[in-house]
Structure 1
Amino acid sequence: MASKITLSVEPRGKPIGKLPKELVISLSDSGAALHESIAQISGASVHRLRITKGSDRSVVPNSKDTSIEATGLRNSSVIHVKDLGPQIAWRTVFIIEYLGPLLIPALFLFPLRPLVYFNYDQPLPNPSNVQLLTCAMLTLHFLKREYETLFVHRFSSATMPIFNIFKNSGHYWFLAGFNVAYWVFRPDSWAASSEPNQALVWAGLALFVFSELANLNAHLVLRNLRRPGTTERGIPSGFGFSWVTCPNYFFEILAWLGIFLASQLNLSILIFTLVGGLQMWSWAWKKEKRYRKEFGDKYKKKRTVIFPFLF
């Protein structure tokens, strides 16, 4: 078998300047080397390129761990190259999307309070203890998210389309930021009561602390499955992983239910939890299917992907 092959290169979608019609590459070269070669010749950023096989439209991974031979490409094979458009780093997107709900609660509760609730009798009463507690829980939750983004998470892809930042930020800034803050910190909300249900407060706080720590542990387990700079994956194990596919999502939802309880059952928090939970359920099923396909009999299939015995 020849060590070098010639690939036929075709654009997919809008034209890419200087894209070669053919490319000679070694079977032992990696998928990352193929991406780098096309990026260098065409002048496009390697992060904007998506390469698929013409035979079955499967993606040729931009990975140092996957050889050209392993992808199934052979001499005269056709590859399609698509320009994904302007990109932005995953880490940057996460930092920006969490920044809104990190800052908005404290802004609504303190400096912006007279402006946001201008239609109430002035001067406004001081925030209640439950409102202060809820604000602290929201702030700690998103501070933890920012910390994990900077120091814990390892991303399988370097970038995403830049326009995704508006969609992702919209979800967090408006649904978890403005929506939650406005309703929880209203002067007439249940959280504003001077005599809150103490059972809800303590149960919510306990559930929140436990879930945040368990969620962090799950993220550390996932982080340690992947060596820095690689896209390799392993089968996760440890606390929660024997129950469901994605215990990190399970504990994330439990943490929000803790905030919901401590806030005296504010419905805006429940709405955000339900919307986010449905999205996480979809992601978790995709991950379960990927585990089954990637690891085969080595992987113990899960019937529930987020909630034990339920979903």
Structure 2
Amino acid sequence: MASTTISLVVRPRGRPIKNLPESITVGREEPSAQIFQRIADAAKFPVNRLRVTKGSDGSAVPSSRDVTVHQTGLRDRSAVDVKDLGPQIAWRTVFIVEYLGPLLIHPLVYYGRPLIYGTSAPPSRLQTLSLILVTLHFLKREYETLFVHRFSLATMPAMNIFKNSGHYWIFSGINLAYWIYAPTAPTAGPSNPLITYGGLALFAIGEIGNLITHIELKNLRRPGSTERGIPRGLGFDLVTCPNYMFETMAWIGIWLVSWSLSTGLFVVIAVGQMAVWAQKKERRYRKEFGDKYKRKRFAILPGIY
């Protein structure tokens, strides 16, 4: 009868890890995440800093609760290479920090108009409305980060937080705020009610639709699991990523209210980035689910892209 446990040879790769064991024993039918946990326990090292690859071909060993050690292809006396990924930070923390930027910057610029622009004139109705919409958008993002999103990866390299936060702090924070609340901004003048109300309607539909799709995506994955399912529901029959479609609608709504060139530029950049992500997701869905998945012609905008 075959043994229910196997021994894996552990080899260091890259920067040395103190107390790294030469071998570990793990159950054949245990989750592959136990490989990481056994190594971390033996080395007294943070498990999220470990990258484990198969010594035979260099392919990554998943830290998963849904894949068994046997399913990874590892057998008794197989070698695994262990690398220290360096200091890590939780993805949830990264998202919180990213969205905090615009939440701080927009009110600071709005209320700091006398110091920034040297004006004593009060903000216009459109400038106040723009502040409300941007604040609501990023408050919703923070809420989803804390209570809705489930992350397939627990952490990322800590230093990447500066790169990731730059997009939000600079482009949707400083860039948008400086131009939207300026005394010479289009929002400082009279508004066209049809355009303003149309923008508000798009914003409301976009934000609500985006939240619904995020909840649907959350429900596809059990807590603590990395498994994926085929998304269905609002918008998923039209495009690959309706969450990006609704996100686009919300930002077009903000643009129609703020009527700022900087907001329009931000929308173009954001949609371009979301389009790249959506195309990657479409390819992943086709590869992962095969004929079970209804292929989409459009990634984020029905009839357009």
Give the TM-score normalised by the residue count of structure 1. 0.93
Matched letter for residue 124 of structure 2: S
Whether 1:244 and 2:239 are equivalent positions in the alignment is yes
User: What's the counterpart of residue 183 of structure 1?
Assistant: 179
User: What's the counterpart of residue 52 of structure 1?
Assistant: 53
Deviations 1:21-50 (Å, cap 9, x if unpaired)? Answer: 322322112111111001011121011111
Provide the rounded CA distance (Å) in 2 between the counterparts of 1:116 and 1:192.
15
Q: How does 1:17-166 map to 2 (within 5 A)?
A: 17-110=18-111, 112-118=112-118, 122=119, 124-166=120-162
- SS across alignment from 1:94: helix
Provide the rounded CA distance (Å) in 2 between the counterparts of 1:132 and 1:231.
42
CA RMSD of aligned residues (A): 1.4
Q: How does 1:216-255 map to 2 (within 5 A)?
A: 216-255=211-250
User: What's the counterpart of residue 192 of structure 1?
Assistant: 188
Deviations 1:239-281 (Å, cap 9, x if unpaired)? Answer: 10011111101111111111111112x1111222222222222
Report if the CA contact (8 A) 1:103-1:139 is conserved: no
User: What's the counterpart of residue 292 of structure 2?
Assistant: 298
- SS across alignment from 1:142: helix
- SS across alignment from 1:52: strand
Report if the CA contact (8 A) 1:8-1:22 is conserved: yes
Provide the rounded CA distance (Å) in 2 between the counterparts of 1:57 and 1:260.
48
Matched letter for residue 205 of structure 2: F
Provide the rounded CA distance (Å) in 1 between the counterparts of 2:58 and 2:270.
31
CA drift of 1:181 comes to 0.3
Provide the rounded CA distance (Å) in 2 between the counterparts of 1:10 and 1:276.
43
Provide the rounded CA distance (Å) in 2 between the counterparts of 1:274 and 1:267.
11
CA drift of 1:69 comes to 0.7
Change in 2 beyond 3 A, CA 1:281/1:13: farther
Bigger CA drift: 165-174 or 278-287? 278-287
**Match for 2:251 among 238, 253, 256?**
256
Unaligned runs of 5+ residues in structure 2 are: none
- SS across alignment from 2:225: coil
- SS across alignment from 1:73: coil
Whether 1:308 and 2:302 are equivalent positions in the alignment is yes
Query: How much identity, in percent, do the aligned residues show?
Result: 55
Deviations 1:41-86 (Å, cap 9, x if unpaired)? Answer: 1121011111122333332111111101111112332222121111
CA drift of 1:131 comes to 0.5
Give the TM-score normalised by the residue count of structure 2. 0.95
Provide the rounded CA distance (Å) in 1 between the counterparts of 2:280 and 2:16.
32
- SS across alignment from 2:135: helix
CA drift of 1:132 comes to 0.6
Report if the CA contact (8 A) 1:154-1:226 is conserved: yes
Provide the rounded CA distance (Å) in 2 between the counterparts of 1:271 and 1:12.
44
Unaligned runs of 5+ residues in structure 1 are: none
Deviations 1:93-132 (Å, cap 9, x if unpaired)? Answer: 111110110121121111x2112113xxx4x211111111
- SS across alignment from 1:44: coil
- SS across alignment from 2:80: strand
Report how many aligned residue pairs link the two structures. 304
CA drift of 1:92 comes to 1.1
Bigger CA drift: 58-67 or 134-143? 58-67
- SS across alignment from 2:220: coil
Matched letter for residue 117 of structure 1: Y
Report if the CA contact (8 A) 1:14-1:83 is conserved: yes
Change in 2 beyond 3 A, CA 1:105/1:129: same
- SS across alignment from 2:45: coil
- SS across alignment from 1:5: strand
CA drift of 1:177 comes to 0.6
Matched letter for residue 244 of structure 1: V
Provide the rounded CA distance (Å) in 2 between the counterparts of 1:116 and 1:68.
60
